[in-house]
């Protein structure tokens, strides 16, 4: 490779290609030259797999206050009210903007938006494109991005580390996987939009790219990380040996689908009066309890009692996928298990993505604004990502006006690293880490399991770090290192929270504490907890 190709300069570097990253890029392209990098193909992201939709108020029977109340109730006392109010009130505008970019949302017979119902919602407010909403949203965004001359897209590029100089972010070191070469991408603004970290667990609805890259890089760079103990497990992942990470949308339960055991008996009445429409944390714990009580591998979700024509029309993606695997959901129940689905915690930011590191923004699932509290309300995630991209682009414009030059930084130095002759170490550690997290840091936790996880994750991190410095960088090694870092943050945060709240449930502390507090971590040191300021939805550090 020519040495000139080893450095790329741009106004804004966007790391990630989901709804947050691409929406941001389209808006920020008005202010400068944008480079979007994505570790695989542009379409390899969690957005593309999202089935249900975006929650927003469009019905005359609904209201922002009702959406707020549902969000706050499910968030279990930890939602930042000011943030929630801004995001929810911005929802309809962001939906209309997506439609203006070409997203074809489902309409009813009156040509109005066909609003779905999901668990935890008091009204129908889920804007969707049948059951392939994410794929439709991403199709439109991809088309718009690829047609924009201000945006360059680099596929097969995975970020390694952020470059921080004098406390400011100058860009990132990026591995070009195709040419096997590390580049410097320097930028006036760097945006982390890398999504979640579901690959930390054995069962996940997330795509293979969800290895917590943005959170891990920000953590190593000194960013404050917030509420990492809150990992939302989706109750219904398709249980099938050839159905990797395929989610059975919550929208099925919104349309009346029932959870049953192998004998056809419903069991949710034993756990929650809201039955299948209880929030995700309640349903996931109920399924987990039934699995452990009976010793079976999976349970079932049944919608076969509904009109087959309705099932096929409302859920064509799920119907076709299941049918390809020999399961006719219009005639038989669907085998399911709970799976890691969404990282509620992440890089601590404002609504516009501002972190504690100048020139570094984080948006979407990578960020933690406090919107979701301790448990995310269904279909609030794509909503938050779209709104954060909107406000983040405005913030980016302000930064670009103040920061008018791109600053170069030293090229990547491999030192004495050599090609690996033991790649089995990576695959072994990867599997061990995912088993560790699933068995010790899953839906139901205990101090004993978390302490075991703490001891083992330290050994894994040491082994992975040694491998990282001894051998030349690869995509698998980058992801493994990031997964180990986020796993350590999850474990530390879970141990620190001496209560059960939202999706964090521990048998040692089954009750909630009276006051709701966020968990903050910075640079491997657990910080003090902050009090939640309910008036303006922000927290103020104590005893710093």
Q: What is residue 317's three-state secondary structure?
A: helix
pLDDT in tens, 203-245: 899 999 999 999 999 999 999 999 999 999 989 999 998 887 7
Question: Residue 461: its pLDDT value, please?
Answer: 92
The whole-angstrom separation of Cα 487 and Cα 442 is 11
Residue 538 has pLDDT above 50, yes or no: no
The whole-angstrom separation of Cα 253 and Cα 119 is 7
Please give the mean pLDDT across all residues of the chain.
Answer: 91
- Region 182-197 average pLDDT: 97
Question: Residue 540: its pLDDT value, please?
Answer: 30
pLDDT in tens, 303-347: 999 999 999 999 999 999 999 999 999 999 999 999 999 999 999
- Region 371-385 average pLDDT: 96
CB 22 within 8 A of CB 142: yes
- Region 77-104 average pLDDT: 97
Query: Which of 223-227, 424-428, 526-530 has the highest mean predicted lDDT (pLDDT)?
Result: 223-227
Ramachandran angles phi, psi of 120, nearest 5°: 90, -10
pLDDT category at 533 given cuts 50, 70, 90 is very low
Which of 410-431 are b and which e, b meaning 16 or more Cβ less than 10 Å from the residue's Cβ?
eebeeeeeeebeeeebbeebbe
Smallest CA-to-CA distance from 477 within 538, 524, 434, 430 is with: 430
Q: 541 or 53: which carries more pLDDT confidence?
A: 53
pLDDT in tens, 18-50: 999 999 999 999 999 999 999 999 999 989 888
Residue 527 has pLDDT above 80, yes or no: no
pLDDT in tens, 121-146: 999 999 999 888 999 999 999 999 99
Whether the CA torsion 416, 422, 426, 429 is positive or negative: it is negative
Whether the CA torsion 47, 49, 55, 56 is positive or negative: it is positive
Smallest CA-to-CA distance from 224 within 533, 538, 523 is with: 523
Q: What is residue 470's three-state secondary structure?
A: helix
Tokens describing residue 187: 């930028």
CB 361 within 8 A of CB 347: no
CB 104 within 8 A of CB 137: no
pLDDT category at 51 given cuts 50, 70, 90 is confident
Q: Which residues lie closer than 8 Å to 483 by C-beta, 6 or more apart?
A: 197, 199, 200, 211, 212, 216, 430, 433
Residue 530 has pLDDT above 50, yes or no: no
Percent of the chain past pLDDT 90, that is, above it, reads 79
Q: What is the 3-state secondary structure (H, E, C) of 79-127?
A: CCHHHHHHHHHHHHHHHHHHHHCCCCCCECCCCCECEECCCCCCCCCEE
CB 493 within 8 A of CB 531: no
Question: Residue 325: its pLDDT value, please?
Answer: 96
CB 228 within 8 A of CB 521: yes
Length in residues, the chain: 544
Question: Residue 537: its pLDDT value, please?
Answer: 35
Residue 277 has pLDDT above 70, yes or no: yes
Query: Which of 1-10, 408-417, 466-475 has the highest mean predicted lDDT (pLDDT)?
Result: 466-475
- Region 497-523 average pLDDT: 94
Question: Residue 120: its pLDDT value, please?
Answer: 87
Residue positions annotated with a catalytic role:
280
Percent of the chain past pLDDT 70, that is, above it, reads 95
Q: What residue ranges define each of the domains in the chain, with the CATH number in brackets?
A: 3-230+342-402 (3.50.50.60), 237-339 (3.90.700.10), 424-510 (1.20.58.100)
Residue 94 has pLDDT above 60, yes or no: yes
Q: How much is the CA Rg of the chain, to the nearest whole Å?
A: 22
- Region 288-292 average pLDDT: 90
Task: Fill in the DSSP letter of residue 74.
Answer: H
pLDDT category at 531 given cuts 50, 70, 90 is very low
pLDDT in tens, 140-180: 999 999 999 999 999 999 999 999 999 999 999 999 999 99
pLDDT category at 421 given cuts 50, 70, 90 is low
């Amino acid at each position: 490779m020519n040495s000139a190709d080893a450095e790329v300069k741009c106004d804004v570097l966007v790391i990630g290609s989901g709804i947050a990253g691409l929406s941001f890029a389209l808006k920020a392209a008005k202010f400068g030259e944008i480079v979007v990098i994505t570790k695989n193909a542009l379409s390899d992201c969690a957005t593309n797999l999202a089935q249900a939709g975006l929650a927003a108020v469009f019905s005359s029977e609904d209201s922002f206050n009702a959406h707020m109340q549902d969000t706050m109730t499910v968030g279990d006392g930890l939602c930042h009210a000011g943030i929630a109010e801004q995001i929810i009130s911005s929802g309809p505008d962001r939906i209309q903007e997506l439609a203006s970019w070409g997203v074809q949302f489902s309409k009813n017979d009156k040509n109005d938006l066909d609003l779905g119902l999901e668990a935890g919602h008091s009204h129908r407010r889920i804007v969707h494109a049948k059951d392939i909403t994410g794929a439709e949203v991403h199709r439109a965004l991809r088309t718009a991005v690829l047609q924009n001359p201000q945006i360059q897209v680099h596929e097969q590029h995975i970020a390694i580390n952020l470059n921080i100089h004098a406390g400011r972010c100058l860009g990132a070191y990026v591995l070009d996987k195709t040419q096997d070469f590390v580049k410097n991408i320097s930028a006036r603004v760097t945006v982390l939009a890398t999504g979640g970290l579901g690959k930390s667990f054995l069962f996940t609805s997330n795509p293979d790219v969800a290895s917590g890259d943005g959170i891990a890089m920000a953590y190593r760079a000194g960013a404050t990380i917030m509420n990492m103990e809150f990992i939302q497990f989706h109750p219904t992942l398709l249980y099938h040996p050839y159905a990797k990470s395929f989610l059975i949308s919550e929208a099925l339960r919104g349309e009346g689908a029932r959870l049953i055991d192998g004998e056809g008996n419903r069991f949710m009445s034993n756990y929650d009066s809201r039955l299948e429409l209880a929030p995700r944390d309640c349903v996931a714990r109920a399924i987990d309890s039934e699995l452990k009580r009976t010793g079976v591998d999976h349970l079932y979700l049944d919608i076969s009692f509904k009109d087959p024509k309705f099932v096929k029309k409302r859920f064509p993606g799920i119907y076709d996928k299941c049918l390809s695997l020999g399961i006719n959901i219009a005639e038989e129940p669907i085998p399911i298990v709970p799976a890691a689905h969404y990282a509620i915690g992440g890089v601590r930011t404002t609504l516009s993505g501002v972190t504690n590191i100048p020139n570094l923004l984080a948006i979407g699932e990578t960020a933690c604004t406090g919107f979701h509290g301790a448990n995310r309300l269904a279909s609030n995630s794509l909503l938050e990502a779209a709104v954060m991209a909107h406000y983040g682009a405005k913030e980016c414009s302000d930064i670009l006006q103040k920061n008018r030059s791109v600053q170069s930084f030293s090229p990547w130095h491999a030192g004495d690293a050599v090609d690996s002759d033991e790649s089995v170490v990576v695959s072994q550690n990867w599997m061990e880490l995912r088993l560790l997290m699933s068995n010790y840091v899953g839906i139901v936790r205990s101090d004993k399991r978390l302490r075991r996880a703490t001891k083992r994750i330290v050994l894994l991190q040491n082994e992975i770090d040694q491998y990282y410095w001894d051998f030349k960088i690869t995509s698998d090694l980058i992801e493994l290192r990031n997964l180990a870092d986020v796993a350590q943050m999850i474990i530390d945060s879970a141990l620190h929270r001496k209560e059960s709240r939202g999706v964090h449930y521990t048998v040692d502390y089954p009750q909630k504490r009276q006051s709701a507090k966020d968990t903050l971590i910075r640079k491997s040191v657990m910080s003090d907890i902050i009090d939640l300021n309910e008036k303006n939805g922000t927290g103020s550090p104590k005893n710093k």
